[in-house]
């Protein structure tokens, strides 16, 4: 189970965290991803930038966003099923 893979500093698994705690963790991950996105945009504007660094930044943004979705998955509604 994925929840057992993530332990807090107090030894709790993700399954033991409250919904509010998981939401806060997801918000931090998204905020960090957005910070990287801002840095990445500034970096790309420089004439002497490297594609490998752009790729690394893009991968890290994606990783943080996927992790945020795993920690605090979006609520599914009936409208989501109609898509």
pLDDT digits 0-9 by tens, 13-38: 666 889 999 999 999 999 999 999 99
pLDDT of 7 reads 54
The parent domain of residue 51 ranges over 17-73
The pLDDT-based confidence of 11 (bands split at 50, 70, 90) is: low
**pLDDT surpasses 70 at 83:** no
Residue 26 belongs to a domain: yes
For the chain, the domain total comes to 1
Is residue 57 scored above 90 in pLDDT? yes
pTM of the model: 0.68
- Alpha carbons 24 and 68: distance in angstroms, whole number: 10
In a domain, 78, yes or no: no
Of 12, 37, 38, 36, nearest to 25 by C-alpha is 12
- Asked, for residue 52, whether it belongs to a domain, the answer is yes
CA distances from 20 to 8, 25, 53, 75 (A): 14, 9, 34, 14
Residue 80, pLDDT > 80, answer no
13 by DSSP, 3-state: which? strand
* pLDDT of res. 3: 45
């Amino acid at each position: 189970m994925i929840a057992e893979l993530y332990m807090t500093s107090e030894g709790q698994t993700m399954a033991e965290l409250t919904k509010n705690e998981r939401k806060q963790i997801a918000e931090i991950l998204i905020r960090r991803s957005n910070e990287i996105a801002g840095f990445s945009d500034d970096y790309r504007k420089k004439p002497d930038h490297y594609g490998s660094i752009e790729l690394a930044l893009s991968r890290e943004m994606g990783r943080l966003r996927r992790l945020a979705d795993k920690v605090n998955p979006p609520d599914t509604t009936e409208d989501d099923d109609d898509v």
